[in-house]
Amino acid sequence: MDYLEINKVDKRCPVCFSRENDVLLLHDGDGNYWCTHCSFTGTAGEIHASYHDLQKRFHGILRRLTMEDQLKM
């Protein structure tokens, strides 16, 4: 069980989130999650890996753009 599960942190469905919809997953307390809005099922590890994939669209996520940088954009 991961740290967040121990602290009862909910997780959002990565499939629904990819459509920009926050849908909270239900879970069986044994590491298995499922979505009430779509057919996603998965483990905590799979969910976090999906989140990481979703962040790949943000090419600028690590870039500090000062005002001077932005003026040149």
Partner 1 sequence: MMYLNLFHRSESGEKAAIVRRQQKIVHARGLKTTMFLQYAELFDDVCLAQAIEDRKQFGDEIALGLHKMAGPGMEECVHGNNSFWLFPKNRKREVLARVLERYREVIGESPRSLACYHLDASSNEILRELSPETETVVGGCFEEGVRVYHGCNNSWYLFNEGMPWSPWYPSKTHSLRPAADAADACGLLAVPHLVRDMSLAYEDRDDFWASHPPNVMRGLGNTGSFCPYDLNLVDQYRMQERFNGGMSYYNSFVSAGWLGYNKNIEVPPVVAWELYGKLLDYLARLKADGQLLDLTLSEYGDWFRSNRPLGAVPSEVYWAKEMLYGSGKHYLWYLDPSHRVLVDTDQGGSIGDYRPYVGRVPVATGPDTPHREMGSYPYIIQSQHRTGFSTHHRDGSRTTLYLTRGTETVDLARSRTKCRCLDRGDDATRIVLAPAVVRFEDGVEFSVATTLAFHPGGRILVSRTLSGPPDEVLHCREWFKGAHGFTEYSEDLHDIRLDAGAGPVDFEYLGRSWSGTGAVAAEIPAVHTRIELAPESGRLSCSGVEEGYLFNPYFALYLDYEVRTGETFQTWITSKSTK
Rule CB under 8 A: say whether 64 interacts with partner 1. Answer: yes
Between CA 30 and CA 37 the distance in angstroms is: 21
Token representation of residue 2: 């991961």
| Contacts of 65 by beta carbon, 8 Å cutoff, 6+ apart | 73
Minimum CB separation from partner 1 for residue 37, in Å?
7
Minimum CB separation from partner 1 for residue 21, in Å?
6
Token representation of residue 39: 């057919």
Residues of the shown chain interacting with partner 1 in the complex, contacts defined by CB under 8 A: 3-4, 7-12, 16-17, 20-24, 37, 47-48, 51, 54-55, 57-67, 70-71, 73
